[in-house]
Amino acid sequence: MVNIEEEKAEAEQVIAVPTDKKNTTTTRRELWSYYIYYIGNNGLSGFNYGPSQFQNLLFLAGYDPSQAPFTTPCGTGDCVLPYLGQIRDVNSIVLLTNGISFAIQAAVLLIIGAWADYGVWRPNITIFFTIVAVAVSFSWLGVDVPSKWEAGVVLYILGLITYQLTLTFWTAAFPGLARDLPEVQESSKEVLAGAKDPEEHAKFESLARNRIANIAFAVCSSGEVIILVIMVGILKAVKSDQSTENNTRAFSILLAFAGGMWLLCSIPWFIFEKRRPGLKIPPNTNLMTIGVKQVYVAFRECMKLKQTFLYLVFYFLMGDVLNTTVIVSYSTLDLTYLLIVGLAAQGIGIYAHWLVQKRYQIRTKTMLLFNVFWIILLTIWGLIGVHTNRFGFKHVWEVWAYQAFYGLMVCPWYAYSQTMISEVSPMQQMFLFFALFSVVGKTSAFIGPLVSSAIITAANNNNNMPFAFLFGLGVLSTIALWMVDIEKSHKECAEFVKAEGSRNAFSIPLEDTISQVSEGDYKA
């Protein structure tokens, strides 16, 4: 005889049970406010121009170590500055600052990630960090000369942290939006009435998640292109290409403009997002300890979440491949043009992938496997350059072609990889698991470039040699993805929820969450 509680846990992992107690049905207005928020949180301030301005200020403030301190500006040789009690190369300063930023992000994500799964105040986390991120963007207006590079360190760290936190919690909201779509709620009713198979419903909901994720990325790409076109006008107005001073000032102006657009695009989401109820804090636990406790729980029960952690391995390895990118020095204007090309291609690529998936009802995992094939192809192109100077990301035209190809064939990775996280994680702790995956992604972003740098040094400064390592890593990660079984993951997540439910880890009051189905609705 099948245990009723096991069936209940598995069913609730697969289906969303509708209720009239809370008005949480996803409306078109809420959905579009979710899309529009991403136009603002596009990474231009915290991920593109912020890091560029930081490195620009370091180079301008630095000096040639072969001469007396601060007497000879940096040229084609080494460039150093005093940092954390020691004279360091500016590249070392960037890596060290990235490490500090990552450590802070990891700690905050693992604590706040658990908070977001409890109560109804999760949107306040996104609102708070968005406001801080916007304030950081405007603060760059006061940091536009080399002598203020130390203030740039603080803004750089804050920009990276707030961008990552807002992006993580905004992204993690989409499974709830998908579950509360009217058509998904209707499908779940059919399952409960015995008119529809739970796995058929799971596939239907999966497509709904893909729709939201892909359209969000496509809308962001389109909106971001418009923002960048306006930025070109700003750069022309301030004559950014006429002097180093103008170029530096232009970076700060663009950061402030990006922050203003972020705030403008955030307001609808702040107003229209519905506060979907989460879990109750378990007994003998508080907000200061719940994060550490739930991370411990997740790893303690990892053997019950084999598919989840197998996907985490894939996510880490493929993140290493993606985070080792082509590096070329650009002015603010050239960088903006390059971003426009990449984003236009990205919008077309992501939406085209979604249309194909929708037309042929293709599963998320299949789309992701198709996607990573093109990522591996990029590593092969770079590998060609080990023994020739004709190809292998050694020319500017290749970087422009890379931007277009990356947008069309690689960028859908960001939508499909996020959707896959939602399909292999327990619904009750979706935000914690998104935070865990975000930490893993940041770890690969930090480790990958360091490993590649060591390979370049060992290969007598052959900049293409790391592609051999990245190709092998890409193939290995693809094998890990191939082994992930979504159906098994649903059962494992149900067992995880059941095990933690017995320890009161998932204390969910009837009136505060989805309605529970009576035991009579499950047949032994």
Residue 116 lies in a domain: yes
Residue type, 478: T
- Residue 120 CA to residue 112 CA, distance in Å, equals 14
Can you read off the two tokens belonging to residue 34? 């979710």
Average pLDDT on 322-348 reads 73
* Residue from 521, 392, 359, 416 nearest 465 by CA: 392
Helix, strand, coil percent content, the chain, rounded in steps of 5: 75, 5, 25
> Which CATH number is 202's domain given?
1.20.1250.20
How far is residue 462's CA from residue 295's CA, in Å, rounded to a whole number?
41
Whether residue 54 lies inside any domain: the answer is yes
State how far Cα 159 lies from the chain centre: 15
SS3 at position 505? coil
18 within domain boundaries = no
**Residue reference for tokens 């920009």:** 159
pLDDT at position 445, please? 66
Split into its structural domains, the chain has a count of: 1
What pLDDT does residue 227 have? 93
pLDDT at 97: 87
> Is residue 391 assigned to a domain?
yes
- Residue 10 placed within a domain: no
pLDDT at 419: 92
Distances (CA, A) of 354 to 218, 343, 412: 10, 16, 9
Residue 521 in domain = no
Q: Which domain holds residue 441?
A: 25-502
* HSE toward the beta carbon, residue 177, CA cutoff 13 A: 28
Tens-digit pLDDT profile for residues 58-104: 989 998 888 888 887 887 777 889 998 888 888 788 878 888 888 88
Query: Is position 68 within any domain?
Result: yes
510 domain-assigned: no
CA distances from 359 to 86, 211, 349, 408 (A): 59, 12, 15, 19
Under DSSP, the state recorded for 140 is G
Q: Which pTM does this prediction carry? A: 0.83
Local confidence band at 325 (pLDDT 50, 70, 90 cut-offs): low
What is the per-residue pLDDT across 191-232, written as a single tens digit (0 to 9) for each? 888 888 888 888 899 999 999 999 999 999 999 999 999 998
CB atoms within 10 A of CB 66: 9
Q: Which residue has the tokens 């020691």?
A: 86
Q: Flag whether pLDDT at 166 surpasses 60.
A: yes
Lowest-confidence segment of 67-76, 138-147, 149-158, 245-254 by average pLDDT: 67-76
Please report where in the chains the tokens 């890379």 appear, as a residue.
402
